[in-house]
Amino acid sequence: METSLMNASPEAFDAIRPYRDEEVREVLDRLPQDPELLRAILRFKFPRLADSFLAPALRWMISRALASRVIRIGSISDLQVYVGVYMARMIATTTRGFTVDGIEHLDKNKSYLFISNHRDIAMDPAFVNYALHINNMDTVRIAIGDNLLKKPYVNDLMRLNKSFIVQRSAKGIRQMMAAFNLLSQYIHHSIKQEHQSIWIAQKEGRAKDGIDHTDPAIIKMFCMAEKKSGKAFADTIHDLNIVPVALSYEYDPLDVQKSREVVQKQKDGHYAKGEFEDIDSIAQGIAGYKGRVHVAFGQPLDGDFEDADAVAAAVDEQIRRLYRLFPSNYLALEALHQEGDFAIPSFDTEVRAAFNERLAACPEEYQAQWLAMYANPVKNFLGRL
């Protein structure tokens, strides 16, 4: 773990890196045989039959179907093209439009460290990747916490899709520092030596309250790899080509679940996740209705930053400015009677009815938090947070 960035070999990152082309076929051959994956798909596709006498036969059919669908995939690039087809289909069926801004700020010949706000476990990096893909740019490597990789099949699926592992479960200060140093080295290695862009969330965990702020500890982690090199902090930041990204969803498929979690934490001081909750969240985030979705790429950070706080503030400012506000955000602020002297735009009856119908589907005890989650981006834009 003490290996310096200058001397680190690719093998030093084997525990956290994505899979390589030569590993793809072996992984895809074993996934259709994974009993936990088959049970998870059965639970999602046919929940009423998951524990019935038909379950074994259905799992066999799912296994055969999976194997036939991935038989022609032999590389990471093949898989990205395959995923792109499903992304297009998902966008057509679960959104009311997908738009992209700021792609002109990016150079196809450069690698970037994209830092975005975080609302959905799988869809945030997926939408960033799709925005790059449809603009003929390379997709990114995705930072994902090991708390989501408790099942071997999830680990395989994520690492096939260019994900690398953030070892959040490390115990003790020394282990944690070693894990963060390795992660920092890998990010530098990817960008500078392998010319692969990186996506990482601005803080650990999704913003369940709709408040997007960058954790300066993330910025400090980026710099760990070159801490002993003597390079100036500002130069390290400049070399990483940091680009803020704002992801905006008109509706969050997990808005009720997030509101319940926040309320229960406020009430009981903690929230205990169920065994399959993260996997279910990923599935609901993919399949659930999102309304309009917008991805806005900011401009690469260019400044003589003194410390991590200054970098975090610069990222926040771009995300605040780039975030696209939808009627759901304005109407939530109006419903909370917190608009103050801010004039809420006018919306037609159909838009208001759709918003009120969605609010009514949220249990009453969570509605205030639900509204706050949608209203907070407006308050952030107005500088009230």
In a domain, 2, yes or no: no
Q: What are phi and psi of 74, to 5 degrees?
A: -125, 0
pLDDT above 70 as % of the chain: 97
In a domain, 88, yes or no: yes
Paired tokens of 357: 């119908």
**Residue 4: which pLDDT band, with cuts at 50, 70 and 90?**
very low
In a domain, 381, yes or no: yes
Q: Are 28 and 70 in contact (CB under 8 A)?
A: yes
CATH of the domain at 78: 3.40.1130
In a domain, 65, yes or no: no
Claim to verify: residue 286 and residue 352 sit in the same structural domain: no
In a domain, 379, yes or no: yes
Claim to verify: residue 153 and residue 283 sit in the same structural domain: yes
Q: Are 287 and 94 in contact (CB under 8 A)?
A: yes
Residue 12 has pLDDT above 80, yes or no: yes
Claim to verify: residue 289 and residue 204 sit in the same structural domain: yes
Buried/exposed 211-241: b ≥16 CB within 10 Å, e otherwise: ebbbebebbbbbbbbbeeeeeebbebbbebb
Claim to verify: residue 244 and residue 360 sit in the same structural domain: no
Claim to verify: residue 343 and residue 220 sit in the same structural domain: no
Average pLDDT score, the chain: 93
Claim to verify: residue 304 and residue 375 sit in the same structural domain: no
Per residue in 223-280, pLDDT (tens digit) is 999 988 889 999 999 999 999 999 999 999 999 999 999 999 999 988 888 777 888 8
In a domain, 67, yes or no: no
User: Residue 50: what pLDDT?
Assistant: 87
Claim to verify: residue 305 and residue 358 sit in the same structural domain: no
Specify the number of domains making up the chain: 2
In a domain, 48, yes or no: no
- Chain-centre distance for alpha carbon 2: 29
Per residue in 293-336, pLDDT (tens digit) is 999 999 999 989 999 999 999 999 999 999 999 999 999 999 99
Claim to verify: residue 220 and residue 345 sit in the same structural domain: no
The string of DSSP codes covering 270-319 is --PPPTTHHHHHHHHHHHS--EEEEEEE-PPP-S---SHHHHHHHHHHHH
pLDDT mean over 147-171: 91
User: Residue 5: what pLDDT?
Assistant: 47
Range of the domain at 369: 325-385
- Mean pLDDT check: name the lowest of 20-29, 94-103, 229-238, 292-301: 229-238
Claim to verify: residue 329 and residue 317 sit in the same structural domain: no
Claim to verify: residue 139 and residue 249 sit in the same structural domain: yes
Paired tokens of 104: 């002109």
In a domain, 351, yes or no: yes
User: Residue 1: what pLDDT?
Assistant: 39
Q: How far is CA 133 from CA 80, 86, 311, 370, in A?
A: 9, 13, 28, 33
Write down which residue in 324, 340, 360 finishes a domain.
324
**Residue 2: which pLDDT band, with cuts at 50, 70 and 90?**
very low
Q: Are 18 and 159 in contact (CB under 8 A)?
A: yes
Nearest to 182 by CA among 308, 14, 13, 9: 13
